[in-house]
Amino acid sequence: MSVAAPHPATPGTLYLVPTPLDHGCDTPAALDAALPRHTLETAARLTHWVTENAKSTRAFLKRVDALTPLAQPLQALHLAELPRAAHKQGDHVGHGGSGRNGGNGRGSGSARFDARALLAPALAGHDMGLASEAGMPAVADPGSSIVRAAHDAGVPVAPLVGPVSLLLALAASGLNGQHFAFVGYLPQDAAARAQRIRALEALALKTGQTQLFIETPYRNAALLYALVHTLQPGTRLAVSQGLTLAGGHTRSLRVADWRKLPLETALGRAPAVFALGA
């Protein structure tokens, strides 16, 4: 594909490029185990990127290059990082409800950074890539501000197929996949966390809506302990770790059965997805 400046009247497309879920793992998975050929080929030809972390995206593109040669040398690619403001509580303006420090109120609607400026190459006609550190950008990860700005600027948006840990975990949970919610992180404070766990359980049991959430890996064990000792015995709790990777697994049990397990060693330090429901 040509990377010469195309006609400025026709914007390029913003491709949402998923990456493997082995970020930070000692043994990376084979890239084509997680990504279809079309995703690899598209990533290989993109010369302009917006990324959560440039170093991670360069490492990803180096792996792509080994399977599908890049259109331009790695050094010649243009990588722009999302501003830090987009990382901390998610970059969805005014809605950090699921983030660590987020509130629940409606935002002002004004952007905290100029997402449109990052789309300048697309407005000049270049196809662009958007990537996060692992998985699908803009899903439980930064990126939605850029996607929204693309729509507002008339830049077509094309999501590519790849691993999405939340959805793999939901499918593998055996819980209701026809009605579900992802609620981000639970509170860190023990009392607030227990209260939130009970509220999520009540919602799940009343409406049938599976509740999905995540935790910072080093708090996995504490969260699991809190869940198992706060939820009702008949509630089902599923935990997935390392899906798509060697040793990846999902355990889905009634809480009464979780209570028979040695919880301290039930989870490793890898990112986990938790799901509860009837």
Q: Does 35 sit near a copy of itself (CB under 8 A)?
A: yes
4 vs 260 by CB, closer to a copy of itself: 260
Exactly one of 63, 116, 148, 196 binds a copy of itself (CB under 8 A); which one? 148
The region of 44-52, 73-81, 116-124, 163-171 touching a copy of itself under the rule CB under 8 A is 163-171
Residue among 92, 116, 193, 196 that touches a copy of itself (CB under 8 A): 92
Instruction: Note whether 37 binds a copy of itself by CB under 8 A.
Output: yes
**Phi and psi for 6 in degrees, rounded to 5?**
-80, -175
For residues 161 and 34, give the distance between their C-alpha atoms in angstroms, rounded to a whole number. Answer: 9
Contacts 24+ apart (CB under 8 A), 95-100: 97/184, 98/182, 98/183, 98/184, 98/185, 99/184, 99/185, 100/185, 100/188
Residue from 25, 83, 244, 268 that binds a copy of itself (CB under 8 A)? 244
Identified binder of a copy of itself from the candidate list 120, 161, 192, 199, rule CB under 8 A: 161
50 scored as a contact of a copy of itself (CB under 8 A): no
Decide if residue 196 touches a copy of itself (CB under 8 A). no
Instruction: Please list every residue from 4 through 23 that binds a copy of itself, using CB under 8 A.
Output: 16
E-state strands within 134-203: 157-159, 180-185
- Is residue 270 close enough to count as binding a copy of itself by CB under 8 A? no
- Phi/psi region, residue 59 (left: phi>0; alpha: psi -120 to 50; beta: rest), is alpha
Supply 62's token pair: 């180096």
Binding residues with a copy of itself: total (CB under 8 A) = 81
Handedness of CA 139, 142, 148, 153 (dihedral sign): negative
Does residue 190 bind a copy of itself (CB under 8 A)?
no
Q: Which H or E run includes 45?
A: helix 37-45
Under rule CB under 8 A, residue 255 binds a copy of itself? no
